[in-house]
Amino acid sequence: MYRLIFSLVVRRLPTEFAHHGWLLLVRCGSWIAPLLRKVRLAPSPDPRGVVRVWGLDFAGPLGLAAGMDKHVATVRGHIRMGFSHVEVGTITPKAQPGNEKPRAWREVPLRAVRNRMGFNNKGAEAAAHRLARLRKSRSGRCLIVGVNIGKNRVTPPEAAAADYAACATALAPYADFLVVNVSSPNTPGLRDLQAVEALRPILTATREAADASAGKRVPLLVKIAPDLADKDVDAIARLVKDLGLEGVEATNTTISHDLGPGGLSGPPLFPRALEVVARLRRVLGPDPVIIGMGGITSVEDAKAMLDAGATLLQGYTALIYEGPAWPGRLNSALTR
């Protein structure tokens, strides 16, 4: 059914317009899902699928990756759809408009998406306000929310640590885990912060700010690009161990393509994402969490990513092509 809707309607709409339409539907749909569940039209989470990480019970491995909900508007709706968690963001200290439009394109034959959004978001204060509202209710406190943070476009690299720390101070009290994003290709110079000498002070400052603000240890992860050389992946894994970080997210979008500007997500990313996850696991050893993502679509993809060493999974692009039943279907299949 969704495939028909996609080919008749969704693929004819400009990508960003469809994105906003989707977010609106999810906000409305979050109130309809419990009714659908009552008449057995939507699957309920299966307790056998629970993954326990950092003392939290994830109702399945698959969560929603960063970039879909930059304004903390659809956490409840996406979790009711079947994701076990939602990572909001990327959020920067100050609001910024992002790059000029158009800035997102569907690559339909590849079932992929290309984007150069550039961290359009309303800033840390607005996000903190919305998260505080979500966390006010008991049901809102039960939702597992990761918060992905970045630096403003105008912030020079030498001041980046202060941007990440500012976001951590504002947002850590509401986050189940925090993710330092140094891997989006659409903020000039951001990916250079993956070099360990640049990354170490950023992660140290973020850790201190997050834990001081939340009054407890907040799980801290770093999100990396698929385009890193293997030796740089290894170096980041060693840094993560050295600093005692809780984990790594792999991977962000790739710039290794010739389709036009922006980072590519979806199936073309999968083989390298899998390789990076396996490599990270070899160097990290068994303990730190790896959240694997990049083109996960089928149950086989998800299983391969878990077998490569991922603890949890995330997806974004497959939701566009497979529709709202996809997360629940995948999490249920992984339980079986």
Give me the active site residues, please: 184
Q: Which of 252, 274, 291, 327 binds ligand FMN (CB under 6 A)?
A: 252
For the CB of residue 175, give the shortest distance to ligand FMN in the complex, in Å. Answer: 14
First to last CA, the chain: 24
Q: Which of 44, 48, 24, 25 is nearest to 36 (CA)?
A: 44
Rounded Cα–Cα distance for residues 310 and 289 (Å) = 7
Listed in sequence order, the residues at least 6 apart from 267 whose beta carbon sits closer than 8 Å to its beta carbon are: 110, 111, 112, 295, 297, 317
Which of 294, 324, 327, 328 forms a contact with ligand FMN (CB under 6 A)?
Answer: 294
User: 147 has which bridge partners?
Assistant: 88, 178
Query: Distances from the Cα of 7 to the Cαs of 85, 121, 207, in angstroms?
Result: 28, 30, 45
Nearest residue to ligand FMN, using CB?
67
Hey, what are 159's tokens?
Answer: 């001041």
Is 99 near ligand FMN (CB under 6 A)?
no
Among positions 133-172, residues that touch ligand FMN (CB under 6 A) are: 148
> Binding of ligand FMN at residue 83 (CB under 6 A)?
no
Q: Is position 296 an interface residue for ligand FMN (rule: CB under 6 A)?
A: yes
How near is the Cβ of 32 to ligand FMN at its closest, in Å?
25
Q: Which of 266, 288, 292, 324 binds ligand FMN (CB under 6 A)?
A: 266
Contact map string, positions 167 to 206, toward ligand FMN, x by CB under 6 A:
--------------x--x----------------------
What contacts 106, CB < 8 A, 6 or more positions away? Answer: 11, 15, 112, 113, 320
H or E stretch at 87: strand 86-91
- The site for ligand FMN, by CB under 6 A, has a size of 27
Tell me which residues touch ligand FMN (CB under 6 A).
65-67, 89-90, 104, 113, 115, 117, 119, 148, 181, 184, 223, 252-253, 265-266, 269, 293-296, 315-318
